[in-house]
Amino acid sequence: MLKIDGLKKTYSTGDEALKGVSFEVDSSEIVAIIGPSGAGKSTLIRCVNRLEEPTEGTIFLDDVEVTSLSKKELRNARRDIGMVFQEFGLVDRLTVMENVLSGRLGYMSSLNAFRRNYPEEDIRRAREILSTVDMAGYEDDRADELSGGQRQRVGIARAVIQNPKILLVDEPTSALDPETSRKVMELLIDIAQEEDISVLINIHEVHLATRFADKIFGLRDGEVVFEGLAAELDESAKDKIYRGEDPEQEVDVSDDSELQSTDIKEI
Ligand SMILES: Nc1ncnc2c1ncn2[C@@H]1O[C@H](COP(=O)(O)OP(=O)(O)OP(=O)(O)O)[C@@H](O)[C@H]1O
C-alpha cells in the first residue's frame, strides 16, 4: 500500500506545487489524479519515486519509508515502483526487446548490467509481456520505427517487467489520439489487474479517469479538493476541481466555456 502524508514540494523558484497532500493507494487499486494545468499532478507522481525531492512529508510503500532512503537504498526501492511516462521514455536506437529488458537492469549486477547480459528467464518474460500488450512480432524493431500507441505499449511492458508493486503513470495518453488513448488505457489496466499491481495515474481526460479508476483524487493549487469514487465525480465536484468553486455556495455555472478548455479534455 502507498501512503502519502502531508506531502509538500516547493521548487527553488518558490513555486509551491504541493501544499500538504495526503492520501493512500491500496494494493491492486487503480487511483487517478485529475486537476487543471499546474495543479501539481506531475510533481506528485514524480515525488513518489523521488524523481523530485519532496520538501516535507512522508511517503511509505508498504513498510518502506521512501522519503528517508539514501541514494543507494532508493535504487533498490525503485524496483518496486514502475514508471510510465508521457513521452514514453524509450531509447530510440534500441530495439523493442532491448527497451523492455532495460526494466530488469535494477535487478542485475553492475557487470551484467553493463554487458546487457540478461538471464534467459527475463527474455522469456519480456516476450510474454510483449504478447500481452499486443506487441508480439515487434521484438527486433527499433523503438523509433513505432507509432505513438505502440511506443506507449512498450513503455508499459518495460515498467511491468520490473515486477513493481505500484505503477506511477504520468499522462500516458496525452501524446495519443482518442481511440489509441482508450486502447492503451485498457491494456494498462488489464495488465495491472492481471499482475496485481496498483496504479497511480495522472490523467487529463476525465472520462478515462472515471471509466478506469477505482478512486479519483482532484488536485487544485497543490491541494486535494476531491476524493471519491468515479461515480461521485459529479458536476459540482468538477467545478470545485477545475474552477475552485465551492459547491456548497450558490454559484452560476451555466456558462461552462472555461470548463471546456484544455483543463478537461472530454473527447
Ligand atoms: N521544475 C520546476 N521548477 C519550478 N517550478 C515547477 C517545476 N515543475 C513544475 N513547477 C511548477 O509547479 C506547479 C505544478 O506543476 P505540475 O507540472 O506538477 O502540474 P500539473 O498539474 O502536472 O500540470 P500539467 O497538467 O500542465 O502538466 C506549477 O506552478 C509549475 O509551474
pLDDT at 73: 92
Q: How many CB atoms lie within 10 A of CB 9?
A: 22
pLDDT at 244: 86
Q: How far is the CA of 42 from the centre of ligand 1 (A)?
A: 7
Cα four-point dihedral sign 255, 256, 261, 266: negative
Place of cell 527497451: 99
Read off the pTM.
Answer: 0.89
Of residues 39, 45, 67, the one with CA closest to residue 54: 67
DSSP string, 52-116: S--SEEEEEETTEEGGG--HHHHHHHGGGEEEE-TT----TTSBHHHHHHGGGGGGS-HHHHHTT
In angstroms, rounded to a whole number, what is the distance separating the alpha carbons of residues 68 and 14? 23
- Closest-CA residue, ligand 1 atom 8, reads 43
Question: What is the pLDDT averaged over residues 212-241?
Answer: 95
Among 42, 85, 169, 220, which residue has the most ligand 1 atoms within 8 Å of its CB, making it the best to mutate? 42
Domain parsing of the chain, residue ranges: 2-91+164-243
In angstroms, rounded to a whole number, what is the distance separating the alpha carbons of residues 185 and 205? 11
Q: How far is the CA of 54 from the centre of ligand 1 (A)?
A: 14
Among 8, 34, 43, which residue has the most ligand 1 atoms within 8 Å of its CB, making it the best to mutate? 43
For the stretch 132-179, pLDDT in tens is 999 999 999 999 999 999 999 999 999 999 999 999 999 988 888 888
Among 7, 15, 52, 200, which residue has the most ligand 1 atoms within 8 Å of its CB, making it the best to mutate? 15
- Closest-CA residue, ligand 1 atom 14, reads 40
Q: How far is the CA of 259 from the centre of ligand 1 (A)?
A: 20
Question: Above pLDDT 90, what percent of the chain?
Answer: 75
| CA 43 to ligand 1: nearest atom | 18
pLDDT at 129: 94
Label residue 113 by pLDDT band (50, 70, 90).
Answer: confident
Q: How far is the CA of 132 from the centre of ligand 1 (A)?
A: 34
For the stretch 48-73, pLDDT in tens is 999 999 999 999 999 999 999 999 89
Q: How far is the CA of 103 from the centre of ligand 1 (A)?
A: 27
Q: How many helices (H) and strands (E) does the chain have?
A: 9, 10
Using alpha carbons only, what angle is made at residue 248 by residues 242 and 254, rounded to the nearest 5 degrees? 55
Question: What is the pLDDT averaged over residues 28-52?
Answer: 95
For the stretch 189-215, pLDDT in tens is 999 999 999 999 999 889 999 999 999
Alpha-carbon distance values, 54 to 39, 74, 189 (Å): 16, 14, 28
| CA 46 to ligand 1: nearest atom | 18
Label residue 114 by pLDDT band (50, 70, 90).
Answer: confident
Question: Yes or no: is domain 2-91+164-243 CATH 3.40.50.300?
Answer: yes
Q: How far is the CA of 196 from the centre of ligand 1 (A)?
A: 31
Label residue 109 by pLDDT band (50, 70, 90).
Answer: confident
* Lining residues, ligand 1, CB within 6 Å: 11, 13, 15, 17, 35, 37-43
